[in-house]
Amino acid sequence: MLSLTRRNPEFRRLFLAHTVSRSGDAFNTVALVVLVFELTGSGRGVAAVAMFEVLPVLLIGPIAGFAADKVSRRHLMVGADLVRAGAAAALLLAAASLPAVFAVALVLSAAAVVFNPAASSLVADVVDSNDLITANSALWSAAVVAQVIFAPLAGVVIAASDVRTAFAINSATFVVSAALLIGLRSGRAPATIEALGWSGALGGVRVVRRHPLLRRLLIVQVLAALSAGATSGLLVVLAQQRLGVGPGGFGLLLAAIGVGAAMGPVLLRRFIKVGDRRWLFGPYLLRGGVDVALATVTSPAIAGSALVVYGVSTSTGMVAYQSTVQGAVPAEIRGRSLALFDVAWNGARLVSLAAGGIIADAVDVRWVYFGAAGLLFAAALVGFAAPLDTHQRQFSSR
């Protein structure tokens, strides 16, 4: 993976900007949760932050995808970084006001919604198709390692000073990211899009609907999101009620996922193939098995080991999925197509969070994980429904 950053200076800039920005995100995530809990003393306040982070994806996702195809992706990313730098800096002055904190969370998320499809689309513009797996593996691993290292560090920084220091660090990382991205010379010219308004913004829907493999991927992603939203949100409940561990043990469970997610692309990158359904859909079988294990075991050690497997399967599946979509979709429609996947994923995740909370309170948190396993097995079944060579022909003859 490092060889790609050495021989491709444009990807090196993108990789460094991505890594710096993700490191700041880790500080911001921890600081926002701590600040809101300090201001409200309520779990509902923390949940509201999550809501403000998801809503922009649903509301402006299609428009952001349209912009990623219509406007220079580099300029779009730089602008989004500068907006996020300003929003994070605003919390230095408004950290005592809950409405201001929610407003900043909304702005940060909205800017990320603009940034993400442009960034994902740009990857395929700056690397050859043969390097997509390597590029996405490097970006994914950097993001996970940044989360594993800097989230705990953020807690130390906040404890030693206050949340404002974490927000200042986050703001600075966005400025550094923007400076790196300004120097990018690669990337296609903005597309000429004849249809404006919703017709143009929804161009990704038409592409995905007409492409059999992408259509199948979208269905599978929705099923997976209906599973993952609840299980990720309720892991803290499972840790306490079933595994008998407190906040420290819960942190170790999250770390287990992070370790597995970081290991996956590093160990398995050379085996992952673009458009190969074994890597696109096989990980859902493993993740479903992990959810069954989590619903049945009471040993924290076994649960932690299972979550390492969960992390490995999630990261390898994500690299295969991202590389496949980037390679299958023409450059001029790539931003809108990727935005469609983001909207579908986050919409299903929101439904999953709500349903999971109701089931956990009404019955038992174990049944959330049993149900999630069923959804993941269904996702794998949908993915494997067509023969392998059919999928490969669909991909290669786009």
In a domain, 254, yes or no: yes
Residue 116 near residue 109 (C-beta atoms within 8 A) = no
The residue with greater pLDDT, 66 or 389, is: 66
Mean pLDDT of the chain: 83
Q: What pLDDT is attached to residue 2? A: 66
Both 171 and 238 in one domain: the answer is no
**DSSP for residue 46:** H
Residues 155 and 220 in one domain: no
User: Quick one: average pLDDT of 291-305?
Assistant: 95
The 10 Å Cβ neighbour count of residue 273 is 16
Range of lowest pLDDT (1-5, 42-46, 185-189, 271-275): 185-189
The answer to whether residues 372 and 324 belong to one domain is: yes
State the Cα angle at 32 between 36 and 89, rounded to 5°: 115
**Lowest-confidence pick of 8-22, 150-164, 338-352:** 150-164
Residue range 295-324: average pLDDT?
93
Residue 194 maps to a domain: no
Which class for 172: exposed (0-12), middle (13-18), buried (19 or more C-beta within 10 A)? Answer: middle
The C-alpha torsion from 171 through 175 and 180 to 182, rounded to 10°, is: 140
Same domain, 130 and 12: yes
One domain, residues 234 and 277: yes
Q: Which whole number is the average pLDDT over 261-284? A: 87
Do 387 and 351 fall within a single domain? yes
Count of residues making up the chain: 398
Q: What pLDDT does 326 receive?
A: 83
| Matching residue, tokens 């049944």 | 367
pLDDT 10s digits, 327-366:
877 777 777 788 888 888 888 988 888 888 888 888 888 9
The yes-or-no verdict on residue 255 having pLDDT over 90 is no
Number of independent structural domains in the chain: 2
Asked whether residue 193 is assigned to any structural domain, the reply reads no
| Spatial separation of the C-alpha atoms in residues 173 and 85, rounded to whole Å | 8
222-239 pLDDT, tens digit per residue, is 999 999 988 887 887 888
| 111 and 46 fall within a common domain | yes
Are 217 and 273 contained in the same domain?
yes
Selection from 240, 213, 244 nearest residue 341 by Cα: 213
In angstroms, the CA 35 to CA 30 distance is: 9
The answer to whether the pTM exceeds 0.85 is no
Contacts of 78 (CB under 8 A, 6+ apart): 178, 181, 182
Contact in structure between 115 and 80 (CB atoms under 8 Å): yes
Tell me, yes or no, whether 227 and 122 share the same domain. Answer: no
Q: How far apart are CA 23 and CA 384, in angstroms?
A: 36
Query: Does 1 map to a domain?
Result: no
- Identify whether residues 256 and 346 lie together within a single domain: yes
Same domain, 356 and 308: yes
Domain assignment present for residue 177? The answer is: yes
Check if the beta carbon of residue 371 is closer than 8 Å to that of residue 223: no
Domain housing 324: 203-398
Inside any domain, residue 231: yes
Q: Select from 81, 184, 58 the least CA-distant residue to 123.
A: 184
**Identity of the amino acid at 235:** L
pLDDT value, residue 43: 57
CA torsion 96-102-105-111 (nearest 10°) is -120
Q: What token pair was written down for 254?
A: 């999250």
Judge if 155 and 208 occupy the same domain.
Answer: no
d(CA 184, CA 180): 7
The CATH number of residue 129's host domain is 1.20.1250.20
